[in-house]
């Protein structure tokens, strides 16, 4: 390995307050591997920016040495879009929990899919509000009990994959919180010109630990001959797992299509693409 390849260091000196063995460590390691590989193949650290919301997931902001913003609860998408509009040259990675993206930030998540701005959104879906100690979110299964829901959750969970497909997302994927899967899906997403929605199944080992069993039910969309350009097939695959049933869980890219990105509609941003010198004042 050339000497300069060893120099990329994205870890910070912040002490981790994630629970020991939390799958968030795998997400962090996967993102780190992805960014390091990108830097080793020619990009600079300054070519990346990250945005995180509020929750356990958001601590990734403290543990990854990238520029960006730790924003308000549920407000990751507008901040990512703002960064992209301010500097279309940077690669923006957004990180939310399922509470952040599907409860407090649901409207922003839907519009992010619709706008198709060229940034990538990673959802750490542990099916609970973990930082506030385990209350149900829009993806918690029916029957789940904890202190605030002693009678069990009554409402059906949403299906984020179907929701994103319906909202117009041009790249929709799901993986498990595994270093290789995260690294792989981000490498696929960065090649995609447009908004990329990536749901990561990230079982909370304290408040939703039975989701660890999902690991035994995963199967790869790529290896099963799935046609990711077909909306019909994507919808069918999205229906297979609804957080309530015991079906096998498809992982990989459900859907990918190219369509104009938000930034294409603004000539001013094209000039910015050429650097600040491209701007007429």
Ligand X SMILES: Cc1ncc(C[n+]2csc(CCOP(=O)(O)OP(=O)(O)O)c2C)c(N)n1
Which C-beta is closer to ligand X: that of 132 or that of 274? 132
- C-beta closer to ligand X: residue 8 or 131: 131
Helix (H), strand (E), coil (C) string for 154-185:
CCCCCCHHHHHHHHCCCEEEEEECCHHHHHHH
Decide: 75 and 97 in contact? Cβ < 8 Å.
no
Q: How far is the CB of 25 from ligand X (least distance, A)?
A: 13
Q: Considering the complex, what minimum distance in angstroms separates the CB of residue 267 from ligand X?
A: 36
Least Cβ distance, residue 56 to ligand X (angstroms): 3
Contact by Cβ (8 Å): 100, 74: yes
Choose among 93, 68, 118, 79: nearest CA to 262.
118
CB-wise, 174 or 226, nearer to ligand X?
A: 174
What is the spatial distance between Cα 160 and Cα 169, in angstroms, rounded to a whole number? Answer: 11
Minimum distance from residue 13 beta carbon to ligand X (Å) = 22
Q: Decide if 155 contacts 229 (C-beta within 8 A).
A: no
The alpha carbon dihedral of 147, 151, 154, 159 has a sign of positive
Q: Which is nearer to ligand X, 23 or 252 (CB)?
A: 23
CB atoms within 10 A of CB 49: 21
Fill in the DSSP letter of residue 197: E
Torsion 108-109-110-113 (CA) sign? positive
Bridge partners for 194 per DSSP:
none
- Cβ closer to ligand X: 145 or 259? 145
Q: How far is the CB of 62 from ligand X (least distance, A)?
A: 13
Where on the chain is the footprint of ligand X (CB under 6 A)?
A: 54-57, 73, 97-100, 104, 124, 126, 128-132, 137
Say whether 270 sits in a helix, a strand or coil. helix
Q: How far is the CB of 145 from ligand X (least distance, A)?
A: 17
Query: What are the start-end ranges of the E strands in 160-278?
Result: 171-176, 196-201, 218-220, 249-256
CA atoms of 145 and 136, how far apart (whole Å)? 8
Shorter beta-carbon distance to ligand X: residue 130 or 181: 130
How far apart are CB 192 and ligand X at their closest, in Å?
A: 25
Nearer to ligand X, 197 or 262 (CB): 197
């Amino acid at each position: 390995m050339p000497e300069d390849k060893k120099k990329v260091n994205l870890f910070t000196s912040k002490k981790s307050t994630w629970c020991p063995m939390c799958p968030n460590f795998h997400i962090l390691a996967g993102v780190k591997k992805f960014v390091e590989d990108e830097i080793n193949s020619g990009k600079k650290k300054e070519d990346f920016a990250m945005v995180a919301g509020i929750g356990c997931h958001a601590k990734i902001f403290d543990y990854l040495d990238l520029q960006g913003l730790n924003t308000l609860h549920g407000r990751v998408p507008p901040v990512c879009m703002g960064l992209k509009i301010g500097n279309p040259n940077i690669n923006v990675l957004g990180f939310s929990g399922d509470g952040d993206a599907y409860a407090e930030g649901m409207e922003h998540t839907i519009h992010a899919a619709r706008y198709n701005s060229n940034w990538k959104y990673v959802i750490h879906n542990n099916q609970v509000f973990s930082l506030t100690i385990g209350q149900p979110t829009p993806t918690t299964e029916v029957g789940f009990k904890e202190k605030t829901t002693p009678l069990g959750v009554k409402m059906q969970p949403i299906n984020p994959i179907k929701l994103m497909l319906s909202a117009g997302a041009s790249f929709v994927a799901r993986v498990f919180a595994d270093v290789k899967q995260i690294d792989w899906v981000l490498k696929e997403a960065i090649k995609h010109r447009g908004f990329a929605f990536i749901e990561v199944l990230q079982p909370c080992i304290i408040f939703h630990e039975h989701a660890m069993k999902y690991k035994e039910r995963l199967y790869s969309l790529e290896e099963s001959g799935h046609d990711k350009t077909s909306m019909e097939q994507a919808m069918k695959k999205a229906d297979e797992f609804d957080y309530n049933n015991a079906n096998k869980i498809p992982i990989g890219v459900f859907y990918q299509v190219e369509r104009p990105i938000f930034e294409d509609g603004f000539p001013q941003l094209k000039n910015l693409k050429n650097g600040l010198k491209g701007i007429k004042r």
